[in-house]
Structure 1
Amino acid sequence: MSILTGIRSPHRLARRPGRPPGRAGTVSPSRRASSFPFLMALALVPFRTDLSHTNAAPVLVVAVVAVAVLGSRTAGVVAALSAAAWFDFSLTRPYDTFDIEATADIETAVLLLVVGLIVS
Structure 2
Amino acid sequence: MRMRKLHLLMFALLLLLAGFAAGWVAHRGIVRQKMQRVAELRKARGFADHFFEHIGATPEQFEQLSGTVGRYGQEMDGLYSAFNQERRSLMDSLTAEVSHLLTEEQQSRLERFSRRFQKRRRHKAQE
Instruction: Determine if the TM-score, normalized by the shorter chain, exceeds 0.5.
Output: no
Larger RCO, structures 1/2 (Cα 8 Å, 6+ apart):
1
- Higher Cα radius of gyration: 2
Q: TM-score, normalised by structure 2?
A: 0.35
- The structure where helix makes up a greater share of residues is 2
TM-score by length of 1: 0.37
